[in-house]
Amino acid sequence: MPTRTLADVLQTEDQGLRKLVSLLSELSMRIVAEIPRALGTTEGVNVYGETQTELDVWSNELLTKKLVKSGLVSQVASEEMERTLEGNGEYALVLDPLDGSSNIKTDNLVGTIVGIYHDEKLPAKGRNLLCSLYYLYGPYVQATVATREGVHVCVAAGRKAGSERFLTTGEPHRLPEKGSVYGIGGMKEKWPTEVREFAERLEKRRLKLRYGGSFVGDYNQVLHNGGFFSYPSLLDAPHGKYRLQFESNPIGFITEKAGGRASDGRQNILDIKPTDIAQRVPTYLGNRDLVAEFEGLLKTAESPRMAS
């Protein structure tokens, strides 16, 4: 089958969206080029109290400034900023500019997560996403892009710029029917009983543990191999770690378009009505049967508590 570009697979989308994805694709390559030059940490922390690397700050400034100046966006919200930036375009974007940045010192996977809305005000429901994508900076640069038509996995192996640099087979990507890997975040001692029990079930079925501390890196294992990934509710953090707008919704959208399911343990993540731009939710992603099984386990465990 002839190799196609990301630009080719987006040909049926609006011109504005095509331009926006092309711009993001070019900026992702600039982030990759900057990684070896900025390996330290800043003195400050982000709005969530998390230590920022120099690349967190640099990537955030690069993306937000270029997007606002592009004339394509109406709003840009980033995990690294307390306030939302305003522009003169028609697309609203949510960003995790450098997911997994704590992995930089050990030269492990990092990436960029983006959710794109059309004519929406932020915060917005994941169900209303027009497009979602992440760039994974590993041994090679990969773009995983979901539109309402499906998911495409692309590699930055071309010689042109923007979306034309990213090559793909053109075939929509689907989660394998049978999962083979799993990953669960947070300290095991802080997992609720249901999460512990489900992890034991997965291990008995010979699913391999894959967890490295980068959402996009760990999730990418599930997207390609099938399985289950979660940053769950914890005993000391009942809402988990991931932000609904910047992480759970965009990756949940990709999961659903690839044939999987995205859940907070009780409902589809994409149907959660947001209350705040920084809202956190427990996040469970992967093959439909596995996520549904976990939801059933959680429901069974909660029934006696509700009755009492």
CA atoms lying within 13 Å on the CB side of residue 129: 34
Is 181-307 CATH 3.40.190.80? yes
- Which of 172, 175, 126 lies closest to 149 in space, CA to CA? 172
Classify domain 4-168 at the CATH topology level: Fructose-1,6-Bisphosphatase; Chain A, domain 1 (3.30.540)
User: Is 129 exposed, middle or buried (CB count within 10 Å of its CB: 0-12, 13-18, 19+)?
Assistant: buried
Q: Which range among 7-16, 31-40, 105-114 shows the weakest confidence by mean pLDDT?
A: 31-40
CA distances to 13, 239, 274, 282 from 267, rounded to whole Å, are: 30, 14, 13, 11
Map out the domains of the chain as residue ranges: 4-168, 181-307
Alpha carbon 54 to chain centroid, angstroms = 21
Instruction: Quote the mean pLDDT of the chain.
Output: 94
Residue 145, pLDDT > 70, answer: yes
- Residue 43 pLDDT: 47
Residue type at 289?
D
Length of the chain: 308
Gap between the Cα atoms of 70 and 177, Å rounded:
40
Q: What is the pTM of this model?
A: 0.95
Query: Partners of 75 in the beta sheet?
Result: 86, 92
Phi and psi at residue 93, to the nearest 5°: -120, 145
CA atoms lying within 13 Å on the CB side of residue 165: 20
Q: What confidence tens digit (pLDDT) does each residue in 226-237 have?
A: 999 999 999 999
Q: What confidence tens digit (pLDDT) does each residue in 157-186 have?
A: 999 999 999 999 999 999 999 999 999 999
- Cβ neighbors of 66 (< 8 A, separation 6 or more) are 23, 27
Peptide linkage before 192 cis (omega within 30 of 0): no
86 touches 71 (CB < 8 A) = no
Mean pLDDT of the region 247-275:
98
Topology agreement, domain 4-168 and domain 181-307 = no
